[in-house]
Amino acid sequence: MLRYLLWRSVYTVAVIFAASLVIFFTLRISPGTPEFIIHQPMAAEEERQRFREEQGLNDPIIVQYGNFLGDVFRGDLGTSIDSNIPVVDLIAEFGKNSAILVAAGVLVTFSIAIPLGVIAAVKRNSWIDQTIMGFAALGMGIPNFILALFLILVIGIELDWLPISGKGGIKHLILPTIVLAAEGVAVMLRLMRASMLDQLQQDYIRTLRAKGLSRWRTIWQHALRNALLPIISLSALQVAALIGYTFVVETIFRWPGISRLLIESILQRDYPVALMITLLFTIAVILANFVANIAYSLVDPRIRQETMLRV
């Protein structure tokens, strides 16, 4: 198990490095490199040259990458060209807001999807199942930006129940969280139902019933625990998807989060900010995968042993 953990960690770090390399080079070759933004195309050649020298843009690109890595490890994430604020501070401030949103989204997704998926499986083909699955189909069918607009229109404007933009108390969090979680709930619920149906047909369920365990325990303790195993590895995908949805949600609800900051910095060609946030998101996705893999092997005793033997 320890060796498996180690191997996974090394793999993950390697992937993060590879990703950082790709991101760095891709953003570096972009046509609108920073000096064109700061300095009008008309700017004097000397001035531009001085800027390039200052930013180290004249070095070979591999040296630039090396410098960049060195800076990052020293804790220097650069400074925003646009606002002159250190990127660390920007990320800390906007990141906190996004973290709140994502955490609420994850919480809502799993606490709704798992019980509903179990209920749908247990009551399969009944009206309860069909209602739940109908909502799931709706949740998958309605693109989240459309859902957001509908919610803004109906709940925010017509009924005037909840605020529709900005950050504030819990109330401000409700609509963004609903939109953020909607598709995830639908997807996870379907997966949960399928996984649960699979488990309910297993032989061990019959054994549990034969020894007089109640239906409740059979379902919510034994079948659920088994059914969650395949879900755990897929939950990393769900976290990644959630990160993707924050772009839409933060934009629509004008939530001062890091995704919106990324879009703005990209549009402003605020290269240091864009680079760091892109990198941060990528690392988050890769780490989510890492955690899911580890969690999966920790929870399933069979895998736990297998990985101990193999690695």
Partner 1 sequence: MTADATLLRILDLTVDLATEEGKVRPVDGVSLSLATGEILGLVGESGCGKTMTALAIMRLLPEPGSRTSGAVRLMDRDLLALPEADMRRVRGPSISMIFQEPMTSLDPVFTIGHQLTETMRAHHKIGRHEARERAIGILERVGIPNPAQRLNDYPHQLSGGMRQRVMIAIALILEPQLLIADEPTTALDVTIQAQILELIDDLRQRSHMSVLLISHDLAVVGQVAERVAVMYAGEVVETMPTTSLFVAPRHPYTQGLLRCIPGLAHDSGATEARLHVIEGRVPELRNLPPACRFAPRCPYAMDRCWNERPQLEKVADEQYLRCWNPQPFRA
Partner 2 sequence: MSALQDAALWHEPPAPEQTRRHQLHAGLRLLARNRLALIGGGISLVFVLIGIAGIVIIGFDRFHDLYLDQTLDSAVILRAPFTGENVLGTDALGRDLLARTVAGIGVSIMLALAITALTLIIGMVLGTVAAFYGGWIDVVISAVIDVTWGFPIILLAVALSGVFDRGIEVVILSVPLILWAGFARIVRGEGLSLRERDFVKAARAMGVPDWKIILRHFVPNLVAPTIVMGTYYIPVVIVFEGALSFLGLGTQPPTPSLGLMAAEGRQHLLNGDHWVVTVPGVSLVLMVVGFNTLGDGLRDILDPRLRGVR
> What are the CA-CA distances from residue 191 to residues 208, 264, 288 (Å)?
24, 35, 19
226 binds, among partner 2, partner 1, none (CB under 5 to 8 A by kind): partner 1
The single-letter code of the amino acid at 74 is R
Residues 6+ apart with CB under 8 A from 98: 246, 250, 255, 257, 258, 259
CA-wise closest residue to 155 among 133, 136, 178: 178
Give strand pairing partners of 86.
Answer: 79
305 binds, among partner 1, partner 2, none (CB under 5 to 8 A by kind): partner 1
In whole angstroms, give the CA distance from residue 300 to residue 228: 10
236 binds, among partner 1, partner 2, none (CB under 5 to 8 A by kind): partner 2
The single-letter code of the amino acid at 189 is L
State the residues that interact with partner 1 by CB under 8 A: 202-204, 206-214, 217, 222, 225-226, 229, 299-302, 305
Smallest gap from Cβ 212 to partner 2, in A, equals 27
Question: Residues in contact with partner 2, total (CB under 8 A)?
Answer: 54
> What are the CA-CA distances from residue 120 to residues 54, 87, 191, 230 (Å)?
62, 46, 11, 18
In whole angstroms, give the CA distance from residue 134 to residue 150: 19
- Using the minimum distance from each CB to partner 1, give the nearer residue, 96 or 215: 215
- Site membership for partner 2, residue 134 (CB under 8 A): no
- Using the minimum distance from each CB to partner 2, give the nearer residue, 208 or 239: 239
Give strand pairing partners of 79.
Answer: 86
In whole angstroms, give the CA distance from residue 179 to residue 164: 12
Considering only residues 232-271, where is the footprint of partner 2 by CB under 8 A?
236-237, 240-241, 243-245, 247-248, 251-252, 262-263, 266-267, 269, 271
286 binds, among partner 2, partner 1, none (CB under 5 to 8 A by kind): partner 2
- Site membership for partner 2, residue 128 (CB under 8 A): no
Q: Where do contacts with partner 2 occur on this chain (CB under 8 A)?
A: 15, 18-19, 23, 26-27, 29-32, 125, 137-138, 140-146, 149-150, 152-153, 157, 187, 190-191, 194-195, 236-237, 240-241, 243-245, 247-248, 251-252, 262-263, 266-267, 269, 271, 274, 278, 281-282, 285-286, 289
